[in-house]
Structure 1
Amino acid sequence: MASTSYGYVVLLLIICVWRWQSCEGVNGVGFDIHHRFSDPVKSMFGVTNEFPEKGTMEYYDAMVHRDRFHGRRLAGQTDHKTPLTFSAGNATLSIPELGFLYYANVSIGTPASWYLVALDTGSGLFWLPCDCSSNCVRSYEFSPTETIEFNIYSLSTSSTGTRLSCSSPLCERSCLPSESYCPYRVEYLSANTSSSGYVVQDLLHLTTDNANSQAIDVKIPFGCGVIQTGHFLEAGAPNGLFGLSMDVVSLPSVLASQELVANSFSMCFSPDGIGRISFGDKGSQNQSQTPVLQNRLMVYTVKLTNVSVGLDSFAANLNVIFDTGTSFTLLADPVYSLLTEKFNSQVKNRRVGVHPDSAFQFCYLMTSKPDDLVVPAIRLTMRGGDKLSVVQPWIMIVEDDTRFYCLAVIKSDHDISIIGENFMTGYRVVFDNEKPAVGWTPSDCGESVPFSPNLSPRRSSATSFLHRGYLAFAIILVQFFSVQLMVL
């Protein structure tokens, strides 16, 4: 478990998005945020020794061991319907210096309140901190004189909110005889991390994802999170988690049930951490795609049939999950061992040794500039024959003025294989619940333009450093493990 100071700093980073900056194209908005390990945050808090040095193996390795901070429980559109997106616009953004966990700003209730939520295709129920004090994150002291507050949802402050009854078809948990309203509790793989309370319905404010930007209000179910535990009290999704799975209570399913758009949506992942989300998007006719396998978890599970590494390839028969809530790709054996062995046999650079506990075991000295680096290309063939070419499967590390790079693929210890965000980078990925299928098309996610937010919390001028996006391949909310390097 990370120390309290780590939690405070990551809260700052998430809160800092209230200081919005440009990251979106026409009709969209976005924001920049910094990770708790970033240099600006270190400097702001006067903290040096408590953080791994940026770019070191310890820096990346620390993050991997708490990937999937929220864990998750893993142990047809017609042509005339315009896609929808959040009322603040279709922009999403990952934590820039560590990347791959995407957030969006959503508006709920009457009058509308804003919440910064993590987007997760591995979860179903959307939940917000609700009517809580010690069991949720309410504010962060940005400086001795200024405090930034998160909005906390409450039925008492929204005239359009109601509790969901136990008899509702959207109530997925059995009620006790003493209960009149639908309860919920979601537990995650991370130790003692959960959210619980009761299910409510209220208005989610959306807009058409086109030049007209027509406002659309939709009543949706979501969890009123009275009690949060574990990482949700430290840093992980402190202002809510937005489930995007195939579950009946997820937003794509709810929008489709109201015949507003198709039961499909897309997320775009650019190398600089700026993305987009669009509900009802079915993709293009020429996109690559593969069918989704039926599974009780209602997540986007597909069949990996072949892996190509450089000039070599091998057959695979592996179920993998497309999961936007996981930063790095995890593969179970024998696929992991075959991929890494073939990658290692073709790399021309000298390999370096790492500590056995390190997440990345295949690392090499970098003797040229990153742009000139030549490594074996990795392509994944899915059921149906379409291929996903990985844009950049490695990360660069700096240790004691020595640069090296590591294959950013992790061996799965739970017999669960995941296509993480690093393998989705450079693509618009379509999650189509109607076929069902996952599709992908190369994309840079569009250009950026300035915008103005609808938020008005108390801000600090110290957020002026939030003007940049970074290409980075690591994740948030992690524990620290020592790393030893040696040239083999």
Structure 2
Amino acid sequence: MAAASAVDSFPRLLFLLLFFCLLFALVLEESYAAPGFGFDIHHRFSDRVRQWANSRPRDLPGGWPDKGTPEYYSALVGHDRAIHGRALAELAPELSLADGNETIRINSLGFLHYAVVSVGTPNVTFLVALDTGSNLFWVPCDCTRCAPTSSDSYGLGVDLNIYSPSTSTTSQNIPCNSSLCSGYKNECSGMDGLCPYMVEYVSAMTSSSGFLVNDVLYLTTEGSNPQIVKAPIVIGCGKVQTGSFLGDAAPNGLFGLGRDNLSVPSVLSSRGLISNSFSMCFGRDGIGRINFGDQGSSDQGQTSFNVKQNNSLYNISITGMEVGNSSSDVSFSALVDSGTSFTTLTDPAYTKLSESFNAAVSKKRADVDPSIPFEYCYLLSSKENLTHLPFINFITQGGSKIPVNFPVIFISNQQQQRNFMFCLALVKNNALNIIGQNFLTGLRVVFDRDRMILGWKKFDCYNMEDSNPLPVEPRNSSAAPPSPALGPTSFDPEATTKQGNGTQVTVVSPPGSSSSCLNRFFGIGLVFFLLPVAIL
């Protein structure tokens, strides 16, 4: 009976135990629960955030996109890509071109810097002009109208190649409905068709057109144990070229380094292969370097880019200039463009710099020669040495100074071989302020697109770790540029309007020992603007 009674009472005891446990838990929750609090979460493009931003002195760069528009979704995707790409790139090494990160200024081809790149499977090499003033990477491809490819056409000693997507096993067509085709959809005939492109450049009658493809670009990691990287890249299959692309400059393709999402550094960084930055070093002897992922150094000068809506160029603000002992507080914005041979300025900046330079030079000024694009030239006899030139600095927003290490060019007219001239290599323009590659000589220039700054410092391009002053002679004498043919018989400082015809001149070193960077004959190419018209 006692055992039976205990069994009968067990459910009752279990119920009471559960009841007291529940009561105890409720008392604890009432006694120890912290007071609750919360906060609202707002979308970055919400109406509430828009109202808050409008009350502040600064608005969102590029404006606030309307909900549901392509700009709205593009901004969201770009934000995500920037965050994820930055996280991946922190682990990525610096990359160079697989064929070497050496760049060469070829004076017979527009006085621009070129590099050899390899694309496709099997790989095919191209000699491309490096252009921070444009975005698309294109090469001659299944040509309807392209520049000649034989070495005899340019005096380079090598034949040039033509790309064909059908012979590359890694080539893939980009259709019109791809996000990569967003900038060219107006040219599409159907959403499933090939994405066509057409880019017109500022240089008169110069353009490239074809269609877009995906393929691979061969890069290599920096360091003691380099590894080949097959980087997915967007390539313009350039079927038709016009103007200067038919031989005067970039006959084998253009390497777009701008800020647009199709440019080479943009594609590489968006896929986490590099940090969102690259550098170019412009050597005093025409030999340079390009490095992807290079974020510069703590001792460099720097200034912020001017970020404007629909502007994919590298634009900075100049607040003043120094020439010798004189200074000017003239202010203007300027493009930093490796695809422009010689620096161009509009008035009043052009006149102030030129006249200040003229006042500081003791040599006799030469008569203006319409065949030469430079206005301020000075006579130099065969027995004279040029030992002193006034220094030139551009003062940028923030106070850092861009030094112009080599502002002049030496010229000998073929009809007067006994006389030499040196000219301030600056061209007057009616519309564009451009710091061209000639004013970047002797500098490593960093295009940091993550922090949106331009960085620079004096550099020896032969030793990328050496920040000492530039050497008098290159360390590798075999690294000289190929001996070029004479340049084309046209000079046109106003390349936006017409084609000019002029007397052929040859750039030479002056007699005596003036500067080692001019110790060989050069053929002037042309004042060349590789700037797409659509983004100006």
TM-score (norm 1): 0.73
Q: Deviations over 1:92-140 (max 9, x none)?
A: 11115788411111111111111111110011010111112x4123532
Tell me how far 1:215 sits from its aligned partner: 0.8
Q: Deviations over 1:152-182 (max 9, x none)?
A: 2112101111111212221121153435221
| Alpha-carbon contact 1:274-1:469 (below 8 Å) kept | yes
Instruction: Name the residue aligned to 2:427.
Output: 410
| Alpha-carbon contact 1:96-1:471 (below 8 Å) kept | no
- Alignment partner of 1:156 is 2:166: yes
Aligned match for 1:428, one of 444, 456, 466: 444
Structure 1's 150 and 406: CA in aligned 2 closer, same or farther, altered over 3 A?
closer
Structure 1's 150 and 344: CA in aligned 2 closer, same or farther, altered over 3 A?
closer
Who wins on radius of gyration, i.e. which is larger? 2
- Distance in 2 separating the partners of 1:237 and 1:284: 31
Structure 1's 475 and 314: CA in aligned 2 closer, same or farther, altered over 3 A?
farther
3-state SS of the aligned residue for 1:381?
strand
- Distance in 1 separating the partners of 2:275 and 2:151: 42
Instruction: Name the residue aligned to 1:375.
Output: 389
3-state SS of the aligned residue for 1:190?
coil
Instruction: Name the residue aligned to 2:275.
Output: 262
Counterpart of 1:121, as a letter, is T
| Alpha-carbon contact 1:264-1:430 (below 8 Å) kept | yes
How does 1:69-88 map onto structure 2 within 5 Å? 76=86, 80-88=91-99
Instruction: Name the residue aligned to 1:124.
Output: 135
Structure 1's 483 and 157: CA in aligned 2 closer, same or farther, altered over 3 A?
closer
| Alpha-carbon contact 2:188-2:196 (below 8 Å) kept | no
Q: Which of structures 1 and 2 has the larger relative contact order (alpha carbons within 8 angstroms, sep 6+)?
A: 1
Counterpart of 1:248, as a letter, is N
Instruction: Name the residue aligned to 2:379.
Output: 365
Instruction: Name the residue aligned to 1:323.
Output: 337
| Alpha-carbon contact 1:96-1:469 (below 8 Å) kept | no
Instruction: Name the residue aligned to 2:410.
Output: 396
Q: Deviations over 1:162-204 (max 9, x none)?
A: 1112122211211534352211011112332211111000011
| Alpha-carbon contact 1:428-1:442 (below 8 Å) kept | yes
| Alpha-carbon contact 1:118-1:242 (below 8 Å) kept | yes
- Alignment partner of 1:481 is 2:495: no
Structure 1's 291 and 173: CA in aligned 2 closer, same or farther, altered over 3 A?
same
- Distance in 2 separating the partners of 1:416 and 1:254: 28
| Alpha-carbon contact 1:109-1:202 (below 8 Å) kept | yes
- Distance in 1 separating the partners of 2:239 and 2:108: 32
Q: % of aligned pairs identical?
A: 44
| Alpha-carbon contact 1:360-1:409 (below 8 Å) kept | yes
| Alpha-carbon contact 2:160-2:252 (below 8 Å) kept | yes
3-state SS of the aligned residue for 2:352?
helix
How does 1:199-210 map onto structure 2 within 5 Å? 199-210=212-223
Instruction: Name the residue aligned to 1:352.
Output: 366
- Alignment partner of 1:335 is 2:345: no
Structure 1's 475 and 252: CA in aligned 2 closer, same or farther, altered over 3 A?
farther
Q: Deviations over 1:33-69 (max 9, x none)?
A: xxxxxxxxxxxxxxxxxxxxxxxxxxxxxxxxxxxxx
3-state SS of the aligned residue for 1:298?
coil
Instruction: Name the residue aligned to 2:258.
Output: 245
3-state SS of the aligned residue for 1:139?
coil
Q: Deviations over 1:78-104 (max 9, x none)?
A: 554211111111111111578841111
Instruction: Name the residue aligned to 1:35.
Output: none
| Alpha-carbon contact 2:488-2:504 (below 8 Å) kept | no
Instruction: Name the residue aligned to 1:438.
Output: 454
Instruction: Name the residue aligned to 2:284.
Output: 271
- Distance in 1 separating the partners of 2:353 and 2:424: 10
| Alpha-carbon contact 2:411-2:420 (below 8 Å) kept | yes
- Alignment partner of 1:176 is 2:188: yes
Identify unmatched segments of 5+ residues in structure 1. 1-75, 449-465
Structure 1's 370 and 275: CA in aligned 2 closer, same or farther, altered over 3 A?
farther
Identify unmatched segments of 5+ residues in structure 2. 1-85, 465-477, 492-500, 506-536
Instruction: Name the residue aligned to 1:69.
Output: none
**Structure (1/2) with the larger helix percentage:** 2
Counterpart of 1:481, as a letter, is G
TM-score (norm 2): 0.67
Counterpart of 1:153, as a letter, is Y
- Alignment partner of 1:105 is 2:122: no
Counterpart of 1:408, as a letter, is A
Equivalent pairs counted in the alignment come to 387
- Alignment partner of 1:291 is 2:301: no
Counterpart of 2:225, as a letter, is N
Instruction: Name the residue aligned to 1:217.
Output: 230
Tell me how far 1:408 sits from its aligned partner: 1.1
